[in-house]
Amino acid sequence: MNFLLTAGGLRNDTLRDALRDMLGKPFGAANVVYVPTASVAEPGDHGWFLADMNRLHALGWREFDVLELNGLPRQMVLDRLLNADVIHVGGGNHYHLARSITGNGLADGILEALESRVYVGFSAGSMVFSRHLTQDSAGVIGDTEDLRVLGETSVEPPFGLFDWYLKPHLYSADFPERGDAWADRIAARADFPIYFIDDETAVRVRDGKLDVVSEGRWRLHP
């Protein structure tokens, strides 16, 4: 399985080159599917969502599909994922995304698809693979309101692949509170590793081997 887990999408050449290398062929010879599910649970202006989608579309794919995980027959969703070479899952509310995956019985099918495809996550889309995506960790991370806004008090990790957690948007102008002191407070409460990454960074996992690709800044705790 190959994952490129970004905070802010494919915002720089280093991240785009990393994806091209993982894909193993030109973007113009590949299909991509964009999953916007997490974004629909976020209120307010969605310019950030359009910017991410347009940034991805501008890479010049053979086919650019957009796929919502809710409201369609399960097999139709899985068939559209299988038609893609790259599965790009966008940002928004990671708890809504997790519940959409589990509630529609998609986890096993997505994992099967990822055996031979590249997964690109943007923010929420990068957070759903940790086994620490639970209601307990929501308090540790400071994301309880993101869970409560959905009218829910619990969440199950849809995949549980990684024993570390990813927290995006470190040092971001869009999240001015997310500086070193913010990361230090979270790290002091957590009993599991956390990658804090800025919007120019991604955690890359290739066949079980992890590294960080970046034109920006990131921190790992502990």
Q: Which residues contact 212 (CB under 8 A, 6 or more apart)?
A: 195, 197, 201, 202, 203, 204, 218
Helix (H) or strand (E) holding 166: strand 165-167
32 vs 64: CA distance, rounded Å? 5
Residues 157 and 127: beta-carbon distance below 8 Å: no
Of the candidates 45, 89, 96, the residue with the CA atom closest to the CA atom of residue 67: 89
What is the pLDDT, as a whole number, of residue 152?
76
Helix (H) or strand (E) holding 74: helix 74-82
The total of other beta-carbon atoms located within 10 Å of residue 71's CB is: 8
Domains of the chain, CATH where assigned = 2-221 (3.40.50.880)
What is the pLDDT, as a whole number, of residue 148?
86
pLDDT averaged per 10 residues in sequence order, the chain, 222 residues: 97 98 98 98 95 97 98 97 98 96 97 97 98 93 89 89 97 95 96 97 96 98 94
What is the pLDDT, as a whole number, of residue 149?
86
What is the pLDDT, as a whole number, of residue 154?
85
CA 148 → CA 11, 84, 123, 153, 216, distances in Å?
31, 33, 19, 6, 32
pTM: 0.96
